[in-house]
Structures are given as C-alpha cells and as structure tokens.
C-alpha cells in the first residue's frame, strides 16, 4: 500500500512537471512580449533590456523553467537590492502585473473556488443520485421519462445560459438572491450562502444530469444481479434491497466520477465564475491569460493540475476501500 | 373439543405442507408471451425431499422463484412474469398473499440456495454480515447476537475457524466453501422449506457430494421439507424421496425415486437416464443423448411437447402425440403395455 502510494506520488510529480513545461512552451511561442507590455512608454531598448532581465525573460526557456522549479522549492527574488521583489518558497511565480507573488493571489481566490465547488458538488450528488434512483426504480414510467428529460436538458444546456437565466429570473425578476459578487464565509453563513446559491444551483443542474444517468444505468444493471434476488429471498424489504444492497454496488463508479469532478472543479469553474463575477481560480486564470501574465497562468495551471492528479490518486485509493476485491499493489 | 382450532384443524385436515396446483408462469417478451411453467402440480410433506428434474429451460428454476414469491410484480426486478394457479404453504395461499406476508415467509419459513454462490452473494459485504442480516430481518435482538448466530451457522456447515472467516468476503472463499456459506445463510432462520436450485452445478465433482450430503444432513437435523432442483438424475438418486420430471414447463411423470429408476414411464425420462453416466455402466458404450433440442416456448406444441424428439411416436395410433395433450400422468400417449415393452432394460435404481 505505501509502496503503491509512493509510486503514484512520483508519477504525479512527473505529470505536474510536464504540465508546467507545456505551459511554458505555449507561452514562449506566443507572438507577444510580456516585457514590452510592462516596459511602459516610452520604451527605450535599454529599459526593455532591464525589464527583460528583471523578469528573467533574457534567459533561455529551459533555464526560466528551471529557475521556476528552484523557486518552488527554495523561494526566489526578482531584481537586486532594495527594489527586489521577494517570493518565498514555495514560490509559484511572481506577477509583475499585480506586483505580488502568485501564491498570494491564489490564496485569495482559492476559498471562492472551494466554496463554489463544495456546495455545488453536494447538491448535484444528492439530486443526481436521487433522480437516478427514482428513474431506475420506476423505469419506463412517466417518472423515469420526466427525470430523463430533465437530465438531458441539464446535459445539453450550456452553463452560461442556465447561469444567465438564473440571474435574470431569480436575481432581477424575483429578487430572491444577489445577482453577483461573493461574501466570505467569515462574513456569516447567510450572506455567504445567499451569494453562492445561484452558482451552486447552476453547476448542480448541469452536473446532476450526468450523475442521474450514471446512477440509473448502474442500478438497472445491479438489479439484474443474482445477489439482489438473494437479498429479496432473505425477506429484506424493498427499501433495503434498493437503498442498501443495490446502491452500494452501484456506488463505486459514481464515487469515481465524483472524485474526478471535484478535482477538476477545484481548479476553477471558469465559466461559472465569469458569469457570476466571482474571483476564484478560474477568474484568475482568465485574467492571467488576458494580461499575458505568464507567472499567474503557470501558477494557476499547476495548482489546478495538482488537484486533478491528486483526485485521481485519492479515487484509486478509495476504490480499494469501496470494492473489497480490489487490492492496491 | 378443548383443542385449539388450529390444532384440531391440522388433525382432521391432512393438508399437505406444500401444495402446488395448476401453477402456470408466463413471461411477456418482445416476441410474445412465453409459458415457462404450464399446469404444474405437486405436493411435499415435512421431512421429505422432492426432486425437480429437467433440462435447461424446462421451468424448474422458474417454479422455485414462483414459490419464493420472487416473480411477484411487487419485486422491482421481477420484470414481467404472470403467475396463476395456487401455491399453498401450511394451508396458506401464497400467490394472492400480500407482499408483506411473503416477506415474512421469505428467508424465515422458506429459504433458497442458489446455483452460483459467487454471483448470489453480495461482493461488497462480508459473509458474516450477509448471514447476520438474514437473521436480523426476522428476529429482534442485538447485532452481536446475530453475528454470533452467523458464526454458529458457518461452523455448522463445516467452515473452519468460522468466527474469523465471518469477516471475509465471498471472493476469499473457494467455490465449495462459498456454497456452504450460502447454505448457512439459508438455514439461519430454521426454515421449514428449503429450496436448492442446482446447488452443485457450479462446483467440482469432488465437492458436489459433500454439499449434497450437507444439505441432506441439515435438512434432517432441521426437519424441513426440501426441493432439490437439478438436471442431473445422478444427483437425484441418492438424495430425494420423490421426483417430478419436467419438460417444457410441464410435468412428464412423477414417482417415488425408487420406482422412477426401477420402472421409468416416460420416453423423456428414458432419454434422461440414457444420457446419465454411470459408474457401473459399460465403459465402451457411448452415452445416448436425446436427439433434437428443447422446444421453443414461444410456439407451444398442441400435443405432447416432447413428441418432436420422441422416437416412439409411431407406436401411438393416429397423430395423438402431435395433436392431443396427454391428460394424465405419465404424460404419454403410449399404452402402458407398450411402455413396459419399449422401456430400455436393466436400468435399476442407482445406489
């Protein structure tokens, strides 16, 4: 088990290294020059040269990446003497646009993303699985058809459309919830939740559909298993046959998908954050790309990628617990 | 007169423990209705064992599911079976009984051992938990008592170190041990009726005998009635009291086991016996398979369902075999004298 995890952690590190390298290369190939953007006007060749040196852009790309990795482990500073910008370890880069370490920016944005993710995930898991169960148990009836219709609508509708409709109806028309912005959890759970309820609902609506379909198909498959007949033959009531024996067997793939989705979403819900003007990781990434702020883009990309690969590992470990037949080695 | 009504009833009315009358089961399929069981009759007394014998698709397993109430529409997965006729257990009609009553009986009064224990046991729960659960549905009492009971039963069916093994999962047992677990689960509530559906089919031949012996043992110990479903007359020989031979959902013949082997009446039974390997048989002689294949139940025969595969139809006057359904048992149009003459010789009861 420990050996397995150690092996997987090394694999994770490799994936993250490659992710960072690819991000660097993509930016290197972009036709614009970040140094020129920061140089100001008028931009003499001498100033440009200084800016370039200050930002570390005068080095070859692999050297830049190497310095980035060094900073990740030991921290680094940009410039010399009094004016030097400090970026303590683990340094995810330094944004010259915002004049602050990327880690600080992520520190502000991440709680927003976590808030969105946790609430939305809880909602879509509960509603998705519940809808799927109803569909499976009442398959072929109007219940099933209604749930299928709702699911397909959810899958087929783009997030921004549902989001904008939600803002229009719930926010402006009926004035039930604030239309945008974010309140910290520390400001009180009421304002926090009221600002988040709309993005939660939107993300949940879009994602729950997939869970409903998965739950339904998994359950229908499990219903045909011999051990479900055994459960009935024991005299167990239907609610235990379905709610315990069937659901437990159908749960494994659902848990897998849930873990992956949470990992993905923790990296930033770009569209949702944009629609609701919330400054989470997705917003940060979008801003970084728009401003050619390479350190922000690399920092956020790696941070997000970390959650995806970590979710992968966690799901695999979880599998060992969910299915006693699986042994991790 | 001072006897309780129940007791006096039992005394005056010799109603059999289990009585199945005119049982018919239809499945709706995309291609039409399939009659899997067609007018089945049998009775079973306490302490006796009945063998239901036939090829795949003859309706044996469907019969057992019908008795257990597992084809009822209130089971979510039952699909689309329609059952008619009567199943009386202790005088109580089961087909029309409410779902709640059937649930009380299932696993407690009647319980079932399935064919393939690997697929019939839940892969995600320990065997101890699965047995304890079967106990707790029908008994009040603590988790601990149920767990204790589960370990006790595992020990009874011959699983070594039952207390430790109770925490293992089904995939950690061998096939034979898994079937023992299944038997322990079926016995946990001292059932009065035990149904074993091909309990040894998925097992090695060496383990088969042990499992059959175990079932016979516990049945005697618990005094329960048992139905043993099998396609293997060799299995029937040493274990059951009476035999019902089924074909295409219908009864072909029924007899006490000794008489069945001594003087089988139906050509289908002759075919089954001829295709059963025997230790004392002539080793150079090949087994005789029954020609043809089981009938398509979507288009039931007007006459005897076995007629297309029967080699003796020309011994019957006219085309009765093709047009008339035999009215009495054995379900065969051959005259009794012809049957005695045509019966393959020297098939005496095994063991």
H or E stretch covering B49: strand B49-53
When pLDDT is averaged across residues B286-308 and rounded to a whole number, the result is 80
Partner-chain residue, chosen from B103, B114, B124, that has the shortest CB–CB distance to A324: B124
Any chain A CB within 8 A of the CB of B137?
yes
Do the chains contact at B76 and A223, CB–CB below 8 Å?
A: yes
Residues contacting residue A280 through CB under 8 Å, at least 6 positions apart = A109, A110, A112, A113, A116, A268, A269, A273
First to last CA, chain B: 48
B262's tokens:
């001594």
Among chain A residues, the shortest Cα distance to B104 is held by A235
Query: Residue B135 domain-assigned?
Result: yes
Contact A229 B108 (CB under 8 A): no
CB A230 within 8 A of CB B122: yes
pTM value is 0.82
Please, are residues B76 and A137 in contact by the beta-carbon 8 Å criterion? yes
Closest partner CB to A245 (pick from B104, B112, B122)? B122
CA B283 to chain A, closest CA, distance in angstroms equals 39
Cβ distance of B122 and A230 shorter than 8 Å = yes
The pLDDT of residue B351: 38
Tell me the pLDDT band of B345, cut-offs 50, 70 and 90. low
**ipTM for the whole complex:** 0.85
In whole angstroms, what is the distance from residue B245 CA to residue A146 CA?
48
Q: Contact at 8 Å (CB) between A147 and A135?
A: yes
Cα distance between residue B137 and residue B107, in whole Å: 9
Below-50 pLDDT ranges, chain A: none
Give domain status of residue B167, yes or no: yes
Q: What is the pLDDT of residue B138?
A: 93
- The DSSP element (H or E) to which B19 belongs, if any, is strand B18-29
CA-based nearest distance B134→chain A, Å: 5
Backbone angles phi, psi at A85, to 5 degrees: -90, 125
B168–A contact, CB cutoff 8 A: no
Task: Tell me the domain boundaries of chain A.
Answer: 34-89, 106-282
The last residue of one of the domains, among B190, B225, B243, is B190
pLDDT of residue B13 exceeding 90: no
Give the model's pLDDT for residue A324. 85
Give B36→chain A minimum CA distance, Å: 19
Tell me whether B135 touches chain A (CB under 8 Å): no
Q: Which residue among A226, A227, A235 places its CB closest to the CB of B137? A: A235
Distance from CA of B177 to the nearest CA of A (A): 17
Q: Which residues of B touch A232 (CB under 8 A)?
A: 70, 75, 77, 106
- Residue of chain B minimizing CA distance to A234: B107
| Structural domain boundaries enclosing B171 | 119-190
Report whether B215 contacts B235 (CB < 8 A).
no
- CA B266, B272, B275: angle at the middle one, nearest 5? 140
Q: Out of B77, B108, B133, whose CB is closest to A224?
A: B77
β-strands B193-197, B225-230: how paired? parallel
Q: Does domain A106-282 have CATH number 1.10.3720.10?
A: yes
The number of residues in chain B equals 351
Task: Examine residue B245 and state whether it is found in any structural domain, yes or no.
Answer: no
- Top residue of B120, B195, B227 to mutate, by most chain A CBs within 10 Å, is B120
Q: Which of A137, A234, A242 sits opposite B137 (nearest CB)?
A: A234
B120/A241 CB distance under 8 A: no
Phi, psi dihedral angles at B212 (to 5 degrees): -60, -40
Q: Is the pLDDT of residue B53 over 80?
A: yes
Mean pLDDT of chain B: 84
* Number of C-beta neighbours around residue A301 at 10 A: 24
pLDDT at A81: 63
CB contact under 8 A, A324 and B171: yes
Q: Strand B250-256 relative to strand B242-247: parallel, antiparallel, unpaired? A: antiparallel
Contacting residues of A for B179, CB less than 8 Å apart: none
Q: B49 in a domain, yes or no?
A: no
Which string of b and e fits B174-194 if b means at least 16 CB within 10 Å?
ebbbbbbbbbbbbbbbebbbb
**For residues B88-111, average pLDDT:** 92
Closest CA to B179 of B111, B115, B112, B259: B115
Which residues in chain A are closer than 8 Å to B77, comparing Cβ atoms?
223-224, 228-229, 232
Task: Note the pLDDT tens digit of each residue in B234-258.
Answer: 888 888 999 999 998 888 899 899 9
In the structure encoding, which two tokens stand for residue B274, read together? Answer: 């001829």
How many domains does the structure of chain B reveal? 2
Contact B114 A226 (CB under 8 A): yes
From A318's Cα to the closest Cα of chain B, the distance in A is 14
> Quick check: is B30 in a domain?
no
Indicate the helix (H) or strand (E) that contains B228. Answer: strand B225-230
Burial A217-248 (b: 16+ CB within 10 A, else e): ebbbebbebbbbbbbbbbbbebeebbeebbbe
List A100's β-bridge partners, or say none: A95
CA dist B55 and B65 (Å) reads 17
Q: Whose CA is closest to B49, among B268, B203, B223? A: B223
Partners of A225 on chain B (C-beta within 8 Å) are: 119
Task: Return d(Cα A206, Cα A201) in angstroms, integer.
Answer: 9
pLDDT in tens, A98-109: 888 888 999 999
Confidence label for B350 from pLDDT (cuts 50, 70 and 90):
very low
Q: Which residue has the tokens 């695999």?
A: A316
Helix (H, G, I), strand (E, B) or coil at A48: helix
Token pair, residue A269, equals 């819900």
Sheet strands (E) in chain A:
76-78, 85-87, 94-95, 100-101
Ranking A208-217, B160-169, B203-212 by mean pLDDT, the lowest is B203-212
Alpha-carbon distance of B254 to B26, in angstroms, equals: 23
- From CA B198, how far away is CA B252, in angstroms rounded? 20
């Amino acid at each position: 088990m420990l050996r397995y995890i150690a092996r997987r952690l090394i694999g994770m590190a490799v994936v993250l290294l490659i992710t960072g390298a690819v991000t660097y290369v993509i930016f290197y190939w972009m036709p614009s020059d970040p140094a020129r953007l920061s140089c100001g006007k008028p931009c003499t060749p001498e100033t440009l040269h200084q800016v370039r040196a200050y930002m570390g852009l005068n080095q070859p790309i692999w050297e830049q990446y190497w310095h980035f990795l060094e900073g990740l482990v030991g921290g680094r500073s940009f410039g010399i003497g009094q004016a030097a910008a400090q970026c303590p370890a683990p340094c995810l880069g330094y944004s010259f646009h915002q004049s602050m370490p990327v880690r600080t920016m992520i520190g502000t944005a991440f709680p927003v993303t976590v808030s969105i993710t946790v609430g939305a995930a809880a909602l879509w898991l509960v509603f998705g699985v519940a809808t799927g169960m109803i569909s499976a148990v009442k398959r072929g009836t109007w219940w099933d058809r209604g749930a299928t219709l709702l699911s397909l609508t959810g899958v087929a509708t783009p997030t921004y459309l549902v989001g904008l409709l939600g803002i229009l109806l719930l926010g402006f028309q009926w004035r039930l919830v604030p239309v945008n912005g974010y309140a910290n959890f520390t400001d009180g759970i009421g304002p926090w939740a009221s600002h988040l309820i709309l993005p939660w609902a939107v993300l949940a609506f879009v994602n729950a559909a997939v869970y409903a379909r998965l739950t339904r198909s998994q359950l229908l498959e499990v219903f045909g298993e011999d051990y479900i007949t055994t459960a009935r033959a024991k005299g167990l009531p239907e609610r235990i046959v379905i709610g315990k024996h069937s659901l437990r067997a159908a749960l494994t793939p659902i848990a897998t998908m849930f873990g992956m989705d949470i990992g993905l979403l923790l990296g930033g819900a770009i569209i949702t954050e944009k629609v609701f003007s919330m400054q989470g990781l997705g917003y940060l990434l979008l801003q970084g790309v728009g401003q050619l702020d390479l350190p922000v883009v690399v920092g956020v990309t790696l941070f997000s990628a970390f959650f995806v690969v970590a979710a992968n590992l966690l799901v695999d470990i979880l599998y060992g617990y969910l299915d006693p037949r699986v042994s991790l080695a | 007169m001072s006897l309780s009504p129940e007791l006096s009833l039992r005394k005056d009315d010799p109603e059999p423990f289990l009585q199945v009358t005119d049982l018919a089961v239809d499945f709706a399929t995309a291609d039409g209705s399939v009659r899997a069981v067609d007018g089945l009759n049998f009775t079973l007394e306490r302490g006796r064992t009945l063998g239901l014998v036939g090829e795949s698709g003859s309706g044996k397993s469907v019969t057992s599911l019908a008795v257990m109430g597992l084809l009822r529409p209130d089971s979510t997965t039952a699909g689309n079976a329609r059952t008619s006729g009567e199943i009386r257990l202790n005088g109580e009609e089961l087909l029309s009984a409410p779902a709640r009553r059937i649930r009380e009986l299932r696993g407690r009064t009647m319980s079932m051992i399935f064919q393939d224990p690997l697929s019939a046991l839940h892969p995600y729960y320990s065997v101890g938990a699965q047995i304890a659960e079967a106990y707790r549905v029908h008994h009040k009492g603590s988790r601990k008592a149920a767990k204790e009971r589960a370990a006790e039963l595992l020990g009874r069916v011959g699983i070594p170190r039952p207390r430790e093994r109770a925490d293992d999962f089904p995939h950690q047992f061998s096939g034979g041990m898994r079937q023992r677990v299944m038997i322990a689960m079926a016995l946990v509530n001292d059932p009065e009726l035990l149904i074993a559906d091909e309990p040894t089919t998925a097992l090695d031949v060496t383990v088969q005998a042990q499992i059959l012996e175990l079932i016979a043992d516990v049945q005697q110990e618990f005094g329960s009635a048992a139905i043993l479903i099998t396609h293997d007359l060799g299995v029937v020989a040493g274990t059951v009291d009476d035999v019902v031979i089924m074909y295409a959902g219908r009864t072909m013949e029924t007899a006490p086991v000794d008489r069945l082997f001594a003087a089988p009446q139906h050509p289908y039974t002759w075919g089954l016996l001829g295709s059963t390997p025997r230790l004392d048989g002539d080793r150079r002689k090949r087994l005789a398979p029954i020609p043809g294949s089981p009938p398509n139940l979507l288009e039931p025969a007007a006459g005897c369902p076995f007629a297309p595969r029967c080699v003796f139809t020309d011994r019957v006057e006219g085309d009765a075999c093709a047009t008339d359904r035999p009215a009495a048992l054995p379900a065969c149009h051959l005259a009794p004298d012809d049957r005695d003459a045509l019966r393959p010789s020297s098939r005496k009861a095994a063991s």
